[in-house]
Amino acid sequence: MKKLRCEKMIYKDWSSYRCPKAGKYKEGNAYWCGIHLPSRVEAKRKARHDKWTEQWDSESEVHRKREGWIDIGPELLKSLKEIMKNYVMANREEQVQQLIRRAEKFL
């Protein structure tokens, strides 16, 4: 009996060849090895995609929170300047001005 081989074509550098592994699984009209079995490949791809999507969503949440902070930033800076005008102790004036300069860099 003829040994069945995996149907996957492998491309490497300037050449291509069929996967040398035995085609143990039949899916569709072709035989596949365990590595290139389309259903497994798709399941792995979906798992990677779901993991990436979850990571992206969590990072997006951080960015949304930061953007919300930036939205209130100008009001906060205005309030800080108002406080400085109205109530600043003599020995704290330089520290408050440094705070204002640092806040302005982020806006």
| Percentage, residues of the chain above pLDDT 90 | 41
Q: For the chain, what is the domain count?
A: 2
- What is the span of the domain harbouring residue 53? 37-106
- Reported as half-sphere exposure (CB side, CA atoms, 13 A), residue 7 has a value of 10
Q: Are residues 78 and 100 in the same domain?
A: yes
Q: Are residues 1 and 42 in the same domain?
A: no
Q: Are residues 32 and 72 in the same domain?
A: no
Q: Are residues 29 and 79 in the same domain?
A: no
pLDDT band at 68 (very low <50, low <70, confident <90, very high): low
CA triple 89-92-107, angle to 5 deg: 115
Indicate whether 64 pLDDT > 80: no
Q: Are residues 44 and 96 in the same domain?
A: yes
What CA–CA distances, in Å, run from 26 to 4, 9, 47? 10, 16, 23
Q: Are residues 87 and 98 in the same domain?
A: yes
Q: Are residues 6 and 24 in the same domain?
A: yes
Q: Are residues 3 and 52 in the same domain?
A: no
pTM: 0.52
